Homo-oligomer: A and B are copies of this chain.
Amino acid sequence: MQNPTDLIATMGARARLAAAALAALPTGTKRAGLCAASAAIRAQSAAILAANAEDMERATAAGLSGALLDRLRLDEVRLASVADSIAAVAALDDPVGATIDTRERPNGLTLTRVRVPIGVIGIIFESRPNVTADAAALCVMSGNAAILRGGSEARASNRALHAAFADGLAAAGVPRDAVQLVPTTDRAVVGAMLTAAGLIDLIVPRGGKSLVARVQADARVPVLAHLDGINHIFVHASADPAMAAAVVVDAKMRRTGVCGAMETLLIDRAYPHAATLVEALAAAGCDVRGDDAVQRLTSVAPATAADWDTEYLDAIASVALVDGLDGAIDHIAAHGSHHTDAIVAADAGVAEQFLARVDSAIVLWNASTQFADGGEFGMGAEIGIATGRLHARGPVALEGLTTYKWVGRGTGQVRG
């Protein structure tokens, strides 16, 4: 096998050339490429499903858990949805070339800030093969070249999906190298990608916490990552009890495995319906762990210190009573992960203070934390939810995959 550093250098050089071509492609060509990629995936579905069956067989023999097998599995319906989501990305507005702002200087120099692609994006993901197609589509539409490195469990599926995708691009006149798949599952390639400064402009890890943590620790290239979603809902004394119960139950129980799920419920000590609220959550099937005050209100398991810092991603919630808005904000500052935090309150003044003072990518008033999702934000798709503070926060879609440049037009101005 090729040395991983050399492999990434070669792929990176090809990606850079493709990126230069992609940056100049008209929107229509990118759209045509994605529609053709979507069609190619449908046309090659037999080959893709056969490859997936091969992965499933190997994974079953290796004893992967049922949840992991389910993530890996493709069928006609899931594959159609992969093809649909590529076509949906093709319908989004193209951010490239948009003017962010314009200023004319007193010397007559006109300065315009224009959106441009970031360049070459490395995507490191685990077992779900549909990420191949989603991430590739978002990169192409935003004018970026992608280098995809998928998990070894999905290697045959990824290869088949990527082949179809690249066939579609090439048929429509988009460079095939716009989306490259690392042709080996050697783990050393991940290390080579993470240190490929100058070759890869941004790394997007998609997967579990250990993958993301490794990427963040080892990367010498900027990383756009979502680590934890320890999301809170604070129910203020002024909250409407029916709304509070509906929002809290939805935020926790609609889907417990998504990063936007509520993990900790903070109830204002002055809220008169705390016991009813906790009981509604338990009645919905949630394992509730309460602090001392909650335990005195109703029958719940005790929360330990670790609970406040735990992302369960399961039908479990920690619940604490807090002293009003300040108590909630202090708890969130100490234990939150700056992902999504919400307040339920009728008092608009209190709610606005919460929205202003809680330092999270997404802050919500009277709405479920499960809205933390690119689709729900009207972005059509997302490459991830960023919990870092730089470049982009919250759901990241096409615009988050662009940067800008300054374009100055003069008539011979010199600084003098």
Contacts and interface: CB of A to CB of B under 8 A. Distances in A.
A280 interface: no
Given A359-B20, A390-B390, A109 B412 contact: no
A366 B412 contact: yes
Copies of the polypeptide in the assembly = 2
Contacts of A411: 366
Interface in A367-416: 367-368, 370-371, 376-378, 388-391, 393-395, 403-416
Interface string A1-35: 00000000000000000001001100000000000
Contact of A355 (B105, B240, B378, B407): B407
A404 B399 CA distance: 14
A356 interface: yes
- Determine the main DSSP class of A at the interface with B: mixed
A260 to B, nearest CB: 8
A20 B333 contact: yes
B103 A413 contact: no
A416 B197 CA distance: 43
A269 interface: no
Nearest to A219: B220
A54 to B, nearest CB: 36
A315 interface: no
A116 interface: yes
Interface of A: 20, 23-24, 103, 105, 109, 111, 116, 118-119, 197, 201-202, 216-217, 220, 222, 240, 243, 246-247, 250-251, 254, 333, 344, 351, 355-357, 359-368, 370-371, 376-378, 388-391, 393-395, 403-416
B365 A410 contact: yes
Contact of A413 (B111, B360, B368, B389): B368
Contacts of A371: 109, 408, 413, 415
B377 A222 contact: no
A390 B222 contact: yes
